[in-house]
Structure 1
Amino acid sequence: MSEKFVRKHSIHSPEQLAAAERSIETVNREEIEIVRLVWPDQHGLLRGKALTRKAYLAALESGTEITMAPFFFDPANAIVFNPFTPDGGFSVEGLGGSPNLKMVPDPGTFRVLPWVESTAVVFCDLYMANGQPFPLAPRTILKETLSDFASSGYKLISGIEMEWYLTRVVDDGLAKGSLGAPGTPADPPVVAPVARGYNYLLMDHLDEIDDVLRPIRRALEQMGLPLRSFDDEWAPSQVETTFDVLEGVAAADAAALFRMTTKQIAKRQGYLASFMCTPAIAGFYASGWHLHTSVVDAGTGRNLMVPSDNAPLSELGRHYVGGTLAHGVAASVFTTPTINGYRRRRPYSLAPDRLTWGQDNRAAMMRVISAPNDAASHVENRVGDSAANPYLYLAAQAAAGHDGIVNRVDPGPISEDPYNAEVEQLPVTLADAVAALEADTFFRKAFGDGFIDYLVAMKRSEVDRFEAWTAENSDPDTYINGVTDWEHREYFENF
Structure 2
Amino acid sequence: MKRPGFIERHHLWTENQTELSEQIKAVVKEQDLLLIRTAWSDQHGILRSKSLLPQAFFNALENGMQISTGTFLFDTGGALVFNPFVANNSLEIPEMKGAPNIIAVPDPHTFYILPWAKRTGLILCDQYYQNGQPIPLSSRSILCQSLADLQHRGLDYVVGLEVEWYLAKLEDPMLAMADVGHSGKPGEPPKVSAVEHSFQYLLESHNPEIHDLLCILAENLVQMGLPLRSVENEGGIGQFEFTFDPIPGLQAADTMTVFRMATKQICRQQGYIASFMCRPKLQGCSSNGWHLHQSLINRTTGENAFISANSNTLMSDLAKHFMGGILKHVNPTCVFTNPTINAYKRFRPNSLAPDRAGWGWENRGAMIRFQGGFDDPNTHIENRIGEPAANPYLYMASQLICGLDGVDSQLDPGSPTEEPYTTENPPFPSNLLEAISYLSQSELFAQKMGQQFINFMIKMKQSEINRFLKAVADQSPEEYSQRVTDWEQREYFELF
Select the residue among 410, 415, 418 that pairs with 1:416: 418
1:347-403, Cα deviation, whole Å (9 max, x unpaired): 111111111010000111110011320101100000001111111000101111111
What is the TM-score when the length of structure 1 is the normalising length? 0.97
2:167/2:239 contact within 8 Å kept: yes
Provide structure 1 residue ranges, at least 5 long, that are not aligned to the other structure: none
Q: Does 1:124 align with 2:125?
A: yes
User: Equivalent residue for 2:232?
Assistant: 231
Percent of aligned pairs sharing the same letter? 43
User: In structure 1, how many angstroms separate the alpha carbons of the residues matched to 2:119 and 2:131?
Assistant: 34
1:200/1:234 contact within 8 Å kept: yes
1:319/1:404 contact within 8 Å kept: yes
2:345/2:482 contact within 8 Å kept: no
* SS, match of residue 50 in structure 2: strand
Matches within 5 A, 1:484-495: 484-495=485-496
Give how far 1:466 is off: 0.8
Give how far 1:202 is off: 1.4
1:284/1:481 contact within 8 Å kept: no
Q: Does 1:274 align with 2:264?
A: no
Give how far 1:474 is off: 4.8
User: In structure 2, how many angstroms separate the alpha carbons of the residues matched to 1:401 and 1:214?
Assistant: 38
2:325/2:411 contact within 8 Å kept: yes
Between 1:269-278 and 1:309-318, the stretch displaced more is 309-318
User: In structure 2, how many angstroms separate the alpha carbons of the residues matched to 1:90 and 1:285?
Assistant: 38
1:307/1:370 contact within 8 Å kept: no
Give how far 1:109 is off: 0.8
User: In structure 2, how many angstroms separate the alpha carbons of the residues matched to 1:200 and 1:255?
Assistant: 24
Matches within 5 A, 1:26-425: 26-86=27-87, 88-175=89-176, 177-308=178-309, 309-425=311-427
1:142-187, Cα deviation, whole Å (9 max, x unpaired): 1011111111111110000000000001111113642111110011
1:211-246, Cα deviation, whole Å (9 max, x unpaired): 111111111101111101111101110000000011
Give how far 1:407 is off: 2.1
* SS, match of residue 181 in structure 2: coil
Between 1:90-99 and 1:425-434, the stretch displaced more is 90-99
* SS, match of residue 418 in structure 1: coil
Give how far 1:70 is off: 1.2
User: Equivalent residue for 1:8?
Assistant: 9
* SS, match of residue 381 in structure 2: strand
Provide structure 2 residue ranges, at least 5 long, that are not aligned to the other structure: none
Between 1:389-398 and 1:420-429, the stretch displaced more is 420-429
User: In structure 1, how many angstroms separate the alpha carbons of the residues matched to 2:411 and 2:388?
Assistant: 28
2:324/2:412 contact within 8 Å kept: yes
Give how far 1:93 is off: 2.7
Q: Which amino acid aligns with 1:125?
A: D
Give how far 1:6 is off: 0.5
Between 1:10-19 and 1:403-412, the stretch displaced more is 403-412
Give how far 1:82 is off: 1.2
2:345/2:481 contact within 8 Å kept: no
Structure 1 residue ranges (4+ consecutive) displaced by more than 4 angstroms after TM superposition:
473-477
1:1-45, Cα deviation, whole Å (9 max, x unpaired): 653111110111101101111111211111111111111100000
User: Equivalent residue for 2:443?
Assistant: 441
Q: Which amino acid aligns with 1:288?
A: G
Matched pairs, number: 494
User: In structure 1, how many angstroms separate the alpha carbons of the residues matched to 2:478 and 2:317?
Assistant: 48
* SS, match of residue 282 in structure 2: coil
* SS, match of residue 419 in structure 1: coil
Give how far 1:205 is off: 2.2
Q: Which amino acid aligns with 2:44?
A: H
Q: Which amino acid aligns with 2:194?
A: P
Rate the CA distance shift 1:197–1:31 in 2: closer, same or farther, 3 A: same
Q: Which amino acid aligns with 1:230?
A: V
1:322/1:411 contact within 8 Å kept: yes
Q: Which amino acid aligns with 1:191?
A: V
Give how far 1:299 is off: 2.3
User: In structure 2, how many angstroms separate the alpha carbons of the residues matched to 1:484 and 1:196?
Assistant: 24
Q: Which amino acid aligns with 1:356?
A: G
1:318-355, Cα deviation, whole Å (9 max, x unpaired): 11100110111110000000000000112111111111
What is the TM-score when the length of structure 2 is the normalising length? 0.97
2:174/2:180 contact within 8 Å kept: no
User: In structure 2, how many angstroms separate the alpha carbons of the residues matched to 1:480 and 1:428?
Assistant: 9
* SS, match of residue 136 in structure 1: coil
Rate the CA distance shift 1:266–1:368 in 2: closer, same or farther, 3 A: same
Q: Which amino acid aligns with 2:358?
A: T
Q: Which amino acid aligns with 2:417?
A: S
